[in-house]
Amino acid sequence: MSRTSSRIIIFDTTLRDGEQSPGATLKTQEKIKIAQALELLGVDVIEAGFPVSSPGDFKAVQTISKKLKNPIVCAFARGVEKDIKIAWQAIKEARHPRIHVVISTSKLHLKYQLRKTQEEVLKLINKSIKQAKSYTDDVEFSPMDATRTDFKFLCKTLDTALKSGATTLNIPDTVGYALPWEMDKLIKDIKKTVKGIDKAILSVHCHDDLGLAVANSLIAVKAGVKQVECTVNGIGERAGNAALEEIAMLLKARKKDLKLESGINTTKIYPTSQLVSKLTGMMIQPNKAIVGRNAFAHASGIHQDGYLKNEKTYQIMQSSDIGLKSSKIVLGARSGKHALRYRLNLLNFSPSEKKLEQIYKKFLKIADKKRIVTNKDLIFIMKD
């Protein structure tokens, strides 16, 4: 998989972290459908699941590994011998297999979750990475809760993983705690402190508890990160993860300024988003960036007038960029005559200016009673 220095690796964890959303559990065939859609989308790495967690997840990861041709297929594992062994058994038939080893590192996690000392954790990292490395050359390491981990110890964990054979080092903002300038400093300080880190791919995995997942991912990329971990529609634990569609369109819409790009086929974003929403049962909020139903819809008369004269006045992206046929002009009480004429023309009506005035008065009476005026309403007006 050849990449330029400006190429950002998109690591999708919809099938692992995304599926951890309450109520979003997927059946094997549903996971396969999403994995195939992600391949068409152009995702570089697909974290297919957590094989040791259940026989069903093992089967799904194994089947996905056999079916996909282009992406790296990644299996999640804790720093547990059985986890890593089962992860490898699930992905060993993949064309490009990766094992992702995750071990907690913050004082809070060490005390209440792992119940281990820092020294014990360093030994565990060394042992776990070496075990994963015995199965595949492609091994990723994540120090869980990295953004709340003591910096010196964090660097020791990364150094240990690197020396043990890890090829990707991921910095997770596990609880969405970091502020963008903190993330910027953290990545830059890690690059300065950990010797030989340029030999590995530096990655970031941001959660959205404070609504900063995409911002933190972007600032990390500008600081030198080469891989971004994200999910379709931003689904995941609690408030979710950085949204893949937002990352991809940021890189596309602001390419000249960011001087970065991804391999995502953005015209597949909308159908993939709809598929994930349908299969997980997680509805997309109307005002969700990029894929919400209002993202390319215009309801204000001022906006509609400007948009109809020149799309760029109120729209920084083309709807076709994400696989939508067109933007929407939504007619309501705040719509103007320009938008009304536009919609009437689509219905093959061409009223004169005088007639339009009469039609508009009737239109406003309906609009004051209804949230949205439909084509049926307009046809009724015209017949009347």
pLDDT, tens only, 160-199: 999 999 999 999 999 999 999 999 999 999 999 999 999 9
pLDDT of res. 3 = 54
Mean pLDDT of the chain: 94
| Mean pLDDT to the nearest integer, 195-211 | 97
| pLDDT recorded at residue 2 | 45
Q: Are the C-beta atoms of residues 321 and 252 closer than 8 Å to each other?
A: yes
Backbone phi, psi, residue 25, to 5°: -60, 135
Q: In this structure, what are the phi and psi dihedrals at residue 297, rounded to the nearest 5 degrees?
A: -120, 145
- Residues 278-290 have a mean pLDDT of 96
Query: Could you give the CA distance from residue 269 to residue 232 in angstroms, rounded to a whole number?
Result: 9
Task: Average the pLDDT over 346-361 and give the result.
Answer: 90
Q: Tell me which of 262 and 330 has the higher pLDDT.
A: 262
Closest CA to 125 of 162, 81, 79, 182: 79
Count Cβ atoms below 10 Å from residue 309 Cβ, excluding itself: 10
- CATH number of this structure's domain 9-280, picked from the four choices 3.40.640.10, 3.30.390.30, 3.40.190.10, 3.20.20.70: 3.20.20.70
| Percentage of the chain exceeding pLDDT 70 | 99
**Amino acid symbol at 4:** T
Domain-wise residue ranges, the chain: 9-280, 297-383
Half-sphere exposure of 12 (CA within 13 A, CB side): 34
pLDDT band at 4 (very low <50, low <70, confident <90, very high): low
The Cα 13–Cα 28 span in angstroms is 16
Q: What are phi and psi of 202, to 5 degrees?
A: -90, 130
The reported pLDDT for the residue numbered 298 is 87
Q: Does residue 290 have a pLDDT over 50?
A: yes
- pLDDT exceeds 50 at position 35: yes
Helix, strand, coil percentages, rounded to 5, for the chain: 50, 15, 35
Torsions phi, psi for 169 (to 5 deg): -115, 115
Once rounded to an integer, what is the mean pLDDT over residues 378-384? Answer: 86
Sign of the C-alpha dihedral computed for residues 237, 240, 242 and 244 taken in this order: positive
Q: What are phi and psi of 374, to 5 degrees?
A: -95, 175
The DSSP annotation for 193-253 comes to: HSTTGGGSEEEEEEB-TTS-HHHHHHHHHHTT--EEEEBGGG--STT-B-BHHHHHHHHHH
Indicate whether 9 pLDDT > 50: yes
% of the chain with per-residue pLDDT over 90: 77
Of 115-129, 200-214, 234-248, 368-382, the range with the lowest mean pLDDT is 368-382
Place of tokens 């400006």: 6
Q: What angle do CA 375, 378, 380 make, to 5 degrees?
A: 110
Confidence at 346, pLDDT banded by 50, 70, 90: confident
More confident residue, 161 or 305: 161
pLDDT above 60 for 51:
yes
Radius of gyration of the chain (CA): 25
Residue 339 has pLDDT above 60, yes or no: yes
